[in-house]
A and B are shown apart, each in its own frame.
Chain A
Amino acid sequence: QVRLVESGGGVVQPGGSLRLSCAASGFTFRHYGFHWVRQAPGKGLEWVTFIRYDGNNNTYAESVKGRFTISRDNSKNTLYLQMVSLRAEDTAIYYCAKELIRLSRGGPLDTWGQGTMVTVSS
């Protein structure tokens, strides 16, 4: 069964840091690209970042560029999102999502985790 499970969310003060993890199972992790997508309370989906299957050519939304870093450990089947200099507007549920097609980017996202909540507040 294809599955993604996020962890690492919590409450952090403005300016603080947090690292999210997304554990994958049920498929060949190293063959797929992944995204982080977030959703502020009561708002729509906002794309955050993408990592290619080989870990290269990562891309970021302008709102997080320079503060967030996506990475992956193919030996652990795990995706990460390192977040620094957090702001109140980063408060959201963070989802990891898998590309449907092997070795591709920019395609449909066929599997999503359940999400992990990040709250930035003093």
Chain B
Amino acid sequence: SYVLTQPPSVSVAPGQTAKITCGGNNIGNERVHWYQQKPGQAPVLVVSDDSDRPSGIPERFSGSGSGNTATLTITRVEAGDEADYYCHVWDPTTDHRVIFGGGTMLSVL
């Protein structure tokens, strides 16, 4: 079965750049979406289809992907960016289910 692997945690100082990776077999060939989830809240879509930003999401959030790794990049990190981040693809092996990564907790030092 298709598996998405994310680091459990990433730490960054305010104003710096955070990179959260999502590993999967040939994930560069898949449409990857990213969600932000703050404690006690529902997930929010922050990047869709590898690199598109929904309305209202700051330009500081961007995505990219190639080979076996997709990356969510957050520039000029703010305290309010502290949250869990999840990557998501439509399972390319079965074509009938959603796969989420295990999630990465972003800590702003």
Residues of A within 8 A of B (CB): 35, 37, 44-47, 50, 59-61, 95, 97, 100, 105-110, 112-115
Q: How far is the CA of A59 from the CA of B44 in the complex (A)?
A: 23
B69-99 interface code vs A (CB 8 A; 1 in, 0 out)? 0000000000000001010101000011111
Q: Select one of A45, A60, A114 contacting B103, CB under 8 A.
A: A45
A59:B33 contact, CB within 8 angstroms: no
B86:A44 contact, CB within 8 angstroms: yes
Residues of B within 8 A of A (CB): 31, 33, 35, 37, 42-45, 48-49, 54, 84, 86, 88, 90, 95-103
Q: Looking at chain A's contact residues, is the secondary structure mostly helix, strand, loop, or mixed? A: strand
A35:B98 contact, CB within 8 angstroms: yes
A44:B45 contact, CB within 8 angstroms: no
Residues of chain A contacted by B35 (CB below 8 angstroms): 45, 109
